[in-house]
């Protein structure tokens, strides 16, 4: 983990706060000022203003995100992860845009993020999607076989029609607003998007806006 990520996770600092402290020479590793890109090994003494910043215990939560909540810790935006008032700073594994809802995994474990969200991991993410116009067989075929968005062909997906205006889709990649863009390319429009599963973890009765603490063994 890079030093800037370590400090954001364990000292709850914003990027601008980190840069200010760094430029003032207040951030040190083993008594020396170093780059924020320094790779933390785990046996160093990391300090801010000579106060040691120790690594916090790893935590894991499942969160059924409502529409309107943004997947950020920014203090400048209303209705985000900071407002959950969890005892430690966490980030989300696999973001959902503000207009979408459903399952998020919240953690301060960067290694788990690499394991689950790396494009090479092929972890499935499952969504229930409602559309403005009637879903045709050709629409399902196109979504499943892959479409070009932002100049790149999407990977093949598992897509199933649930009713005339609802389909289930399983992706193994997570590009920005991917399902909305794919649907638009296929000449339809998303009216509701809910993520119901990441890997082996699903909502399992978690109510909208509800948070549940879990163990890492429940996730991988």
So which residues are the catalytic ones?
97
**Tokens linked to 193:** 């998007």
Using an 8 Å Cβ cutoff, are 193 and 67 in contact? Answer: no
> Residue 155: phi, psi to the nearest 5?
-70, 160
Q: Are strands 190-198 and 101-107 parallel, antiparallel or unpaired?
A: parallel
What the block records as the tokens of 63 is 């969160």
Phi-psi sector, 216: left (phi>0), alpha (psi -120 to 50), beta: alpha
H-run or E-run covering 214: strand 211-214
Q: Give 80-87 contacts, CB < 8 A, sequence gap 24+.
A: 81/106, 84/211, 86/59, 86/61, 86/211, 87/59
Closest residue by Cα to residue 71 from 52, 94, 53, 49: 94
Q: How far apart are CA 25 and CA 22, in angstroms?
A: 5
Cα 19 from Cα 202, distance rounded (Å):
38
């Amino acid at each position: 983990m890079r030093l800037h990520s370590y400090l954001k996770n364990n000292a709850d600092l914003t990027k601008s706060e980190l840069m200010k402290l760094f430029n003032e020479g207040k951030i040190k590793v083993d008594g020396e000022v170093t780059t924020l890109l320094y790779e933390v090994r785990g046996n160093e003494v990391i300090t801010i203003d000579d106060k040691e910043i120790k690594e916090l215990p790893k935590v894991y939560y499942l969160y059924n995100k409502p529409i309107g909540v943004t997947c950020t810790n920014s203090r400048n935006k209303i209705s985000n992860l900071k407002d959950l008032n969890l005892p430690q700073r966490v980030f989300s594994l696999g973001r959902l845009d503000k207009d979408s809802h459903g399952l998020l995994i919240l953690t301060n474990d960067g290694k788990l993020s690499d394991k689950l969200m790396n494009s090479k991991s092929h972890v499935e993410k499952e969504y229930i999607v409602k559309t403005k116009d009637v879903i045709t067989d050709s629409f399902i075929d196109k979504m499943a076989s892959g479409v070009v968005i932002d100049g790149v062909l999407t990977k093949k997906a598992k897509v199933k029609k649930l009713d005339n205006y609802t389909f289930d889709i399983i992706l193994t990649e997570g590009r920005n607003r991917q399902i909305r863009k794919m649907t638009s390319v296929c000449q339809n429009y998303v009216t509701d998007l809910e993520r119901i599963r990441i890997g082996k973890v699903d909502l399992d009765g978690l109510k909208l806006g509800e948070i549940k603490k879990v163990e890492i063994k429940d996730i991988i």
